[in-house]
Chain A
Amino acid sequence: MLNCKQFVERATDAEEYQMASFGQKFQIKFHMFMCHHCRKYNEQFRTTTVVAKNLTLDDTPDVIIEEAVVEMKEYSVQDNSSIN
Chain B
Amino acid sequence: MNNTETHKFEDDKVLINALLKNDEFAFRYLVKTLYNPLLIVARAIAGSSIADEIVQESWISVLRALPKFEGRSTLKTWITRIVANEAKRRKKKESRFVSLDSFTSEDDSFLERFDSKGHWTSPPGNWGTASPDEILEESQLKKCIDATVKVLSERQKAVFLLRDMENYSLEQICNILDVSDSNVRVLLFRARNKLFQTIEHFQETGEC
A-side residues, CB < 8 A to B, are 3-6, 8-9, 12-13, 15-16, 37-38, 40-41, 44-45, 47-60, 64-65, 67-69, 71-73, 75-76, 79-80
Chain A binding surface SS class:
helix
B56 touches A69 (CB 8 A): no
Contact A68:B164 (CB < 8 A) given known A48-B192, A51-B195: no
A44 touches B127 (CB 8 A): yes
A60 touches B32 (CB 8 A): yes
Contact A65:B124 (CB < 8 A) given known A48-B192, A55-B146, A55-B165: no
Give 6 A-B pairs besides A65-B32, A72-B63 with Cβ atoms closer than 8 angstroms.
Answer: A40-B126, A47-B132, A51-B135, A51-B199, A59-B32, A69-B27
B-side residues, CB < 8 A to A, are 22, 24, 27-28, 31-33, 35-37, 40, 56, 59-60, 63-64, 111, 114, 117-120, 123-124, 126-127, 130-132, 135-136, 145-146, 149, 160-161, 163-165, 167, 169-170, 185, 188-189, 192-193, 195-196, 199-200
Contact pick for B170, options A16, A52, A72, CB 8 Å: A16
Q: Determine the distance from Cα of A66 to Cα of B169 in the docked complex, in whole angstroms.
A: 33
A75 touches B124 (CB 8 A): no
Q: Determine the distance from Cα of A82 to Cα of B11 in the docked complex, in whole angstroms.
A: 29
Q: Determine the distance from Cα of A73 to Cα of B56 in the docked complex, in whole angstroms.
A: 14
B56 touches A5 (CB 8 A): no
Contact pick for B31, options A65, A73, A75, CB 8 Å: A65
B135 touches A47 (CB 8 A): yes
**Closest beta carbon of chain A to B45's beta carbon, Å:** 18
Q: Determine the distance from Cα of A47 to Cα of B192 in the docked complex, in whole angstroms.
A: 11
List the 10 shortest-distance A-B pairs measured between CB atoms, nearest first. Answer: A3-B118, A5-B118, A37-B123, A50-B132, A52-B164, A76-B22, A60-B35, A57-B36, A5-B114, A48-B196
